[in-house]
Amino acid sequence: MDYLDFRNDGNVYMRIWGSNDSSAYKIISETKLVIVNSADTSDITVLTSNALQLYQKQVFGPGDYSESTIFLTK
């Protein structure tokens, strides 16, 4: 089971595709979050007491990009 565990100490602990990792994270604004080790900046599209939705779009060139949405629940 994959997960992201954002903790009050400013670290996120994650298990993604069978690998464990951790990193510092920063909330840049009410709508932006960055995971420091990967430099991934995500848009916070949903934030409630039991749900977090993060959206990322990486542009590699004209017409060449990758989008992902992460749905997290508590």
Confidence of residue 19 (pLDDT cuts 50, 70, 90): very high
Give the per-residue pLDDT at 38. Answer: 79
For the entire predicted model, the pTM comes to 0.81
Q: How many separate domains does the chain show?
A: 1
Can you give the residue range of the structural domain that contains 47?
3-73
**CA 19 to CA 42: how far, in whole Å?**
21
Mean per-residue pLDDT, 45-63: 94
Confidence of residue 40 (pLDDT cuts 50, 70, 90): confident
Q: For the chain, what is the mean pLDDT? A: 93
**CA 23 to CA 35: how far, in whole Å?**
7
**CA 54 to CA 45: how far, in whole Å?**
6
Q: Is the pLDDT of residue 39 over 90?
A: no
Mean per-residue pLDDT, 36-40: 82
